[in-house]
């Protein structure tokens, strides 16, 4: 009977360990799209910066799809286009080429779960290649609606900029 009870305890512990390991492995990380942790900004942090009257505001660039930008975007964000294609990357490079290399820039997409986003990595890599030291990416692990709009952070709607 003691052996049986011990066996049940071990099985329970193994299930918990397997569950924790599986959860950790399934969770998206910045490395999934080639962005190191130091270059991430969380939604709450960016919202606080944008709301703070004395804070230096970063240039916020939406690097996703136009329809998402038109539905809701971060106030003051500029639409440069999906960075998964050459035209979007070209617009991104053109927009930032004259900025100082220490300019504060925040990129965001939010089209889909982080690990599947086709836009974050190419845009971030382009800014890194251009020498931008303060380029960050908004950490949106699931999508912009759930992690920005639904949390009550400020948004603007419609009127996309070309």
pLDDT at residue 25 is higher than 80? no
Tens digits of per-residue pLDDT, 104-128?
999 999 999 988 999 999 999 999 9
pLDDT at residue 1 is higher than 60? no
Tens digits of per-residue pLDDT, 26-82?
344 555 557 888 899 999 999 999 999 988 999 999 999 999 999 999 999 999 999
Compute CA 15 distance to the chain's CA centroid, rounded to the nearest angstrom: 32
**In 3-state terms, what secondary structure has residue 24?**
helix
| Biggest CA-to-CA distance, the chain | 76
- Per-residue b/e over 115-148, b at no fewer than 16 CB within 10 Å? eebbbbbbbbebbeeeebeebbbbbbbebbeebb
Model pLDDT, residue 31: 54
Model pLDDT, residue 10: 33
pTM for this prediction: 0.78
| C-alpha distance from residue 11 to each of 21, 28, 90 (Å) | 15, 28, 55
pLDDT at residue 6 is higher than 70? no
Domains of the chain with bracketed CATH: 28-149 (3.40.250.10)
d(CA 54, CA 57): 9
């Amino acid at each position: 009977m003691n052996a049986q009870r011990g066996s049940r305890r071990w099985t329970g512990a193994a299930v918990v360990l397997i569950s924790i390991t599986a959860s950790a492995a399934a969770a998206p990380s910045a490395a999934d799209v080639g962005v190191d942790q130091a270059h991430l900004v969380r939604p709450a942090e960016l919202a606080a910066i944008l709301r703070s009257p004395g804070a230096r505001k970063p240039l916020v660039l939406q690097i996703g799809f136009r329809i998402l930008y038109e539905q809701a975007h971060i106030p003051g964000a500029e639409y440069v286009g999906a960075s998964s294609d050459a035209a979007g990357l070209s617009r991104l490079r053109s927009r930032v080429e004259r900025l100082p290399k220490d300019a504060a820039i925040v990129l965001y997409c939010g089209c889909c779960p982080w690990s599947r986003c086709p836009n974050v990595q190419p845009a971030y890599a382009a800014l890194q290649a251009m020498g931008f030291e303060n380029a960050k990416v908004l950490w949106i692990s699931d999508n912009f609606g759930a992690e920005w709009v639904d949390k009550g952070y400020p948004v603007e709607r419609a009127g996309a900029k070309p």
